[in-house]
Structure 1
Amino acid sequence: MNANLVGIAIIDIVFFTLLVLTAVAIIRQRSLFAVAMLSGVFSLLSAGLFVTLDAMDVAFTEAAVGAGISTVLMLGTLALTDKDETKPKRSALLPLLVCFIAGAALVYGTLDMPPFGAADNPVQTHVAPEYLERTPTDIGIPNVVAAVLASYRGFDTLGEVVVVFAALVAVLLMLGTTGRPANKRNKE
């Protein structure tokens, strides 16, 4: 095996290990502030993993939305709520069972997928060769991913940005104030 591939595999294993440790830490926390901070760390680790997979566009989105906007919104929400999680009154068995069934269904859905990175995968043989061939002459920039997102799929990318912006506005409206100062609102 190539030494470069071994190095990348080691980096991927380190990222996955850190992601699992962060997820376990999030589950065990009762302080909502710590959960918000660890969620930001989880998003940054995910962005780093996406970089090792050469998915820079997804990494930028994860870093901006996951670690940036989501963390700010969670901290804003914490300003309006309690700082600690309350103990659940019911058993966690049913939600755990639902998560297990959903996870099993997702794993089952991936069993018939083609091998990751294989040259004969549909994603490698359908549209990708045409994009790789036409991008230098059609767009004139060396980054094919940026060319696809900004030009070939420009309206789709615009739609995604509008959806993210609309979600941000909706969350800000839900967290919005009634026009009264915060200290008067909390006393009522």
Structure 2
Amino acid sequence: MSLLLNTVLLVFLLVTAFAVMRVKVLLAMVMLFGLYSLLVSSLFVVLDAPDVAFTEAAVGTGISTVLMLVTLAAVRHGHSAPIKPGKRALPLLLSLAMGSLVIFGIQDLPAFGDSQSPAYQQVAKHYIEKGVDETGVPNLVTAVLASYRGFDTLGEVTVVLTAGIGVLLLLGRREKVHLKARRNDE
């Protein structure tokens, strides 16, 4: 049953990804991106990663789709902020610097799936052997997420909250731009 469900989700993901590449209407593309994120979220649920599924559903399906729709609506109404030539250099430099830092940091990571990496040698063994006893939680995954990895889970919640606040701020700013444009037209 699990194999069938995984296969069906994979087929839907592939069809949706292909449809996103082929569609010409921007609104349909935004909706397909939302569907794709929802399917990825469903896949995480099937793979027993509900915390990742929740984050993907909230950020990928919800917030990203809303941001794309707001952007699409703003572009259709002809609102554009003129960008001065000197203002493009700083974001470009920051992006290149961050990209370089990420590439530099990746060099120190162990090879993917390396059974000799420190995470597999010490921490995982401790979680499996003593997780239920030390936390008192019968489900090992919940024990790890809530007790040992509590700050990681708090970080995920913070990401979702920050993204939500960002969307609210952008929507509020957009309404101010509309009001300012109406006042200028009158």
Which residue does 1:137 correspond to in 2?
Answer: 133
Match of 2:26 among 7, 25, 32: 32
Q: 1:21: which partner in 2?
A: 15
Query: TM-score with structure 2 length normalisation?
Result: 0.64
* Residues 128 and 140, structure 2, Cα contact 8 Å, conserved in 1: yes
Identity of aligned residues (%): 49
2:58·2:160 contact (CA, 8 Å) conserved in 1?
Answer: no
Secondary structure of 1:178's counterpart equals helix
Contiguous gaps of at least 5 residues in structure 1: 1-6, 84-108
> 1:99-124: CA deviations, max 9, x gaps?
xxxxxxxxxx9xx6449xxxx67565
Aligned-pair CA distance for 1:171: 4.5
- Relative to the length of structure 1, the TM-score reads 0.63
1:46/1:62 contact within 8 Å kept: yes
Distance (whole Å) between structure 2 residues aligned to residue 17 and residue 169 of structure 1: 34
Cα shift at 1:187 = 5.9
Query: In structure 2, what is the Cα distance between the partners aligned to 1:147 and 1:64?
Result: 23
Q: Find the counterpart in structure 2 of residue 12 from structure 1.
A: 6
- 1:35-54 paired onto structure 2 within 5 Å: 35-54=29-48
8 A Cα contact 2:132 2:143, kept in partner: no
User: 1:19 Cα deviation (Å)?
Assistant: 0.7
- Report deviation, 1:155: 2.2
| Partner AA of 1:142 in structure 2 | P
Q: CA deviation at 1:20?
A: 1.1
| RMSD after superposition | 3.2
What is the match of residue 62 of structure 2? 68
Measured after TM superposition, the shift of residue 65 of structure 1 is: 1.8
Query: Distance between the aligned counterparts of 1:160 and 1:55, measured in 2?
Result: 13
Gaps of 5+ in 2: 78-106
Deviation for aligned residue 1:41: 1.0
Partner of 1:173: 169
Confirm or deny: 8 A CA contact 2:34 2:61 kept in the other structure: yes
| Counterpart Cα distance in 2 of 1:20 and 1:142 | 37
Q: 1:53 & 1:128 partners in 2: Cα distance?
A: 19
**Partner-residue secondary structure (3-state), 2:176:** coil
Task: Compute the displacement of 1:68 (Å).
Answer: 1.9
Contact 1:57 1:145 in 2 (8 A): no
Q: Distance in 1 between matches of 2:57 and 2:176?
A: 32
Give the equivalent residue in structure 2 for 1:184.
182
Contact 2:63 2:163 in 1 (8 A): no
Q: Label 1:15 to 1:124 Cα distance change in 2 as closer, same or farther (>3 A).
A: farther
Q: Summarize the Cα distance change of 1:114–1:148 in structure 2 as closer, same or farther, 3 Å threshold.
A: closer
Counterparts in 2 of 1:129 and 1:149: CA distance versus 1, 3 Å: same
